[in-house]
Amino acid sequence: MTGATRGGAAWAPALRLVVGAVTFGLLSAVGTAAAAQETAGERAGAVPSCTSEQLIADSAQRIGTGQVRISLINDGPKACVLKGYPTVALAGQGSPDRHKPLNVVRQGQARAVHLPVGGRAWTQLTFAPVLGEAGGYCSSGAEPTVAPSMVLGVGRGGLQLAPDDGGNFALCGTSVRATAFRGSTS
């Protein structure tokens, strides 16, 4: 019995070595196949995700009380795909360290938007409005937040923009509703 135990114990490390080599070979083959598939996808014309470096946003167009529509344009050099929702922060008087990130409440289902060079997409943002005239107030009793610009987070970066009417962004609370990006013909 003692000899059988030693013999069985001697086989265990060898068996682990063989199983490890086979596993490594299979994982290497999967990695190689994935890399080949990715390369084939690039050759077949797979369209990459849009980056903030290739997107431009001209301004935030006011479309109602507490609502703005932001159009993004693919400025090239290649077509790209935009999907999902933006992040949003209010920018404080030109100082990046004074920005105020907002909680984004997502509206609608996200779909991939294919943007050729020059193609457009848009998102609509809705803020809790400030009530009253110049002094303004929030129905919740909170102090209104006012900022001259916002940073729209898209494509692993940010685009800073101001309202198209030259005013400020004014809102109550710390949330904004944002639609998923949609394609546009204009």
pLDDT in tens, 42-68: 444 689 999 999 999 977 999 988 899
Across 6-39, b (16+ Cβ under 10 Å) vs e yields eeeeeeeeeeeeeeeeeeeeeeeeeeeeeeeeee
Residue 15 clears pLDDT 60, i.e. is over it: no
List pLDDT tens digits, range 118-133.
999 999 999 998 987 6
DSSP letter (8 states) at residue 179: E
Which of 101, 114, 122 has the alpha carbon at shortest distance from 178?
122
Using an 8 Å Cβ cutoff, are 18 and 34 in contact?
no
User: Residue 51: helix, strand or coil by DSSP?
Assistant: coil
* Pairing status of strand 169-179 against strand 95-107: parallel
For the chain, what is the mean pLDDT?
77
Q: How far apart are CA 50 and CA 74, in angstroms?
A: 8
pLDDT value at position 127? 93
pLDDT value at position 84? 94
Q: How far apart are CA 127 and CA 103, in angstroms?
A: 11
Q: Could you give the percent of the chain with pLDDT greater than 90? A: 45
Q: How far apart are CA 180 and CA 33, in angstroms?
A: 34
Indicate the pTM of the whole model: 0.72
List pLDDT tens digits, range 99-111.
789 999 999 999 9
